[in-house]
Structure 1
Amino acid sequence: MQRPEAWPRPHPGEGAAAAQAGGPAPPARTGEPAGLRLQEPSLYTIKAVFILDNDGHRLLAKYYDETFPSLKEQMAFEKNVFNKTSRTDSEIAFFGGMTIIYKSSIDLFLYVVGSSHENELMLMSVLTCLFESLSHVLRKNVEKRWLLENMDGAFLVLDEIVDGGVILESDPQQVIQKVNFRADDSSLTEQSVAQVLQSAKEQIKWSLLK
């Protein structure tokens, strides 16, 4: 994977050196978190997953922590990320103290966001799982039109991969099986409700005929 020159990974200790020198910390730009903080290793690996169209408009997004607590901050972040990645051939970027893994498909851009210290291969495994699972759900048509028509299935896929920022599954076959099971279970529930309603109608009809 090639790292874009415009997005160098921040060097550890840069903020501390500036503080010791008495200089002010550089101001955060719009769409970037206020500052970088050292974090302990955690199961909460994923900060966000989102899918944009080829104009940078949000189609699907889930944020799993308070790095961008408001919708306005999220949209500004997504715009900045899209502007930096939409014209590059790389798969990885470092921006605002975060590691961003991304992939394009026809008229979609898929992004997985983690902190700067997260394992890039782990984030890539989540993105690969998401793409391959969506490819199955969308019958290999990973594009805007089919995504919009199958948004419920897309959210089911994402929920099976990541929950609250914790990676649950990175095997697309397992994700597909679980999504199919949940879809079948939902269908059975709807069918059961329909059967109950039909039975009630029959009972009412026979009671009126008596």
Structure 2
Amino acid sequence: MRGAVGFEETRRARGRRGGGRSAGLQEPSLYTIKAVFILDNDGHRLLAKYYDDTFPSMKEQMTFEKNVFNKTSRTDSEIAFFGGMTIVYKSSIDLFLYVVGSSYENELMLMSVLTCLFESLNHVLRKNVEKRWLLENMDGAFLVLDEIVDGG
């Protein structure tokens, strides 16, 4: 009898750990954000924070941001898939706000982070979410970003 109970517990534990899952699926994680960045109308970085080593060097980050800006600056949608990543974005006057997640990430989760970022900046910048006010209040913008995304 004891052997049967041990077998059943082992089988249930494997099911919880994902033992029966295919190799292509990833385990769920709280770390959903790969990067958050804000660019101006010309695609130049104003604020950026990367949370993993997908783009380890500054040069790779800048190239990625420029490519994303070129793909998204002339469209009216709010989501893009680029380089195996899901990107949600929003424009406001002369700023473009981007939140980047992996290709399997839930777009609604990324969009809620973007909405929270925009609304928080809107509050901190007193409803003036534009380049000049962002540059004058950069410390507040980084504080907002650090409070929204805790290590990714």
TM class by smaller structure = 0.7 to 0.9
Tell me the equivalent position of 1:152: 139
Bigger relative contact order, structure 1 or 2 (CA pairs below 8 A, ≥6 apart): 2
Q: CA deviation at 1:43?
A: 0.9
Structure 1 stretches of 4+ with a deviation exceeding 3 A read none
C-alpha distance in structure 2 between counterparts of 1:100 and 1:63, whole Å: 13
Match of 2:66 among 69, 75, 79: 79
Aligned AA for 1:150? Answer: N
1:137-176 correspondence runs (5 A): 137-165=124-152
**Mapped pair 1:92 → 2:92:** no
What TM-score do the two structures reach when normalised by structure 1? Answer: 0.60
C-alpha distance in structure 1 between counterparts of 2:147 and 2:95, whole Å: 21
C-alpha distance in structure 2 between counterparts of 1:101 and 1:154, whole Å: 19
Unaligned residue ranges in structure 2 (runs of 5+): 1-23
Q: CA deviation at 1:42?
A: 1.1
For the aligned residue pairs, the C-alpha RMSD in angstroms reads 1.0
1:1-210 correspondence runs (5 A): 39-165=26-152
Unaligned residue ranges in structure 1 (runs of 5+): 1-36, 166-210
Tell me the equivalent position of 1:189: none
Higher Cα Rg: structure 1 or 2?
1
Q: CA deviation at 1:40?
A: 2.5
Q: Deviations over 1:96-126 (max 9, x none)?
A: 1100000000000000000011110000000
SS at match of 1:68: coil
C-alpha distance in structure 2 between counterparts of 1:115 and 1:48, whole Å: 10
Aligned AA for 1:71? Answer: M
Aligned AA for 2:105? Answer: E
Q: CA deviation at 1:39?
A: 3.5
Aligned AA for 1:70? Answer: S
Q: Deviations over 1:50-104 (max 9, x none)?
A: 0000000000000000000000000000000000000000000001110000000
SS at match of 1:130: helix
